[in-house]
Amino acid sequence: MTFATLKSTIPVLLHHGGCSPLSRLGFQGSLLDLIKAGREELHLIQAASHGLKPDPMPAPEDFDAPYYNPGKIVAVGLNYLDHAEEANMEAPTSPLIFTKFNNSITGPTDPIRIPVGLSLEVDYEVELAVVIGRDAKQVALKDALDYVFGYTIMNDVSARDIQFADKQWVRAKSLDSFGPMGPVIVTVDEIPDPQNLELGCDVNGMALQKTTTKNMIFGVAVLIHELSKSFTLNAGDIIITGTPAGVGFIRKPPIYLKPGDHVRTWIQGIGEMNNPVEGV
């Protein structure tokens, strides 16, 4: 199933070429409430949608981020070998973990806003985002994907000058609007193999990143298994799984986002986001 939240804050199911508000399908609450409600509620929604004529499909600009309040965003660095190589860094032997604050989340067509005078080196990073469906602690590798609700897209926008000056990554990746997310969440039954998805990023129509998730160093199941050894992953938490080669700061000359640019990020089976860039 495919879920989204509209700009009107109405959570919807996309089906049969259109959409139905979850309230019409018997569920009262937000998309995050649905994630936390568990798979039984999903089965009820799916059953209620059978034979129901949906509303027309909304325009892309009508979609908001699926939700803005995950318990935590767990980010994974250097998780594609080609990205580690282009950065001239050793591939990690265990997942390299940091976090990104919730205030960075913005919608799939909303502007990426660059604070004038704060950063001149803003970079793009397309990433597969994993939405955790139930609390996960000490999860066995063979069971790890059972803890996934679904998948979406996140652009882990990064202020490289801040990142390198701080010598750690959190502030540079947590500026307001530096986490476009969406346009939908596709449930795990629709994406049985998260390691077989093409993904990419275009800036002003130029393809700058393109690869497949099979090139991750640590796949989704391994990440859930390893992370859950250290801390509990709660329902609604998001894991962003790293970005492939092609980022802007390594290019010669570097390519940084600037006001007036247009960023398109996409993942096979999920969709695409289209975010303009503004100065503020």
Q: What is the pLDDT of residues 69-88, one digit of tens each?
A: 999 999 999 999 888 888 78
pLDDT of residue 259: 97
pLDDT of residue 87: 79
- For residue 187, name the pLDDT band (cuts at 50, 70, 90): very high
Q: What is the pLDDT of residues 37-72, one digit of tens each?
A: 998 999 999 999 998 999 999 999 999 999 999 999
Go through the domains of the chain in sequence order and give each one's CATH number: 2-61 (no CATH), 67-279 (3.90.850.10)
| Mean of the per-residue pLDDT values of the chain | 96
Q: What is the pLDDT of residues 198-216, one digit of tens each?
A: 999 999 999 999 999 999 9
pLDDT of residue 97: 96
Q: What is the pLDDT of residues 214-223, one digit of tens each?
A: 999 999 999 9
Q: What is the pLDDT of residues 95-117, one digit of tens each?
A: 999 999 999 999 999 999 999 89
Assigned token pair, 51: 């034979």
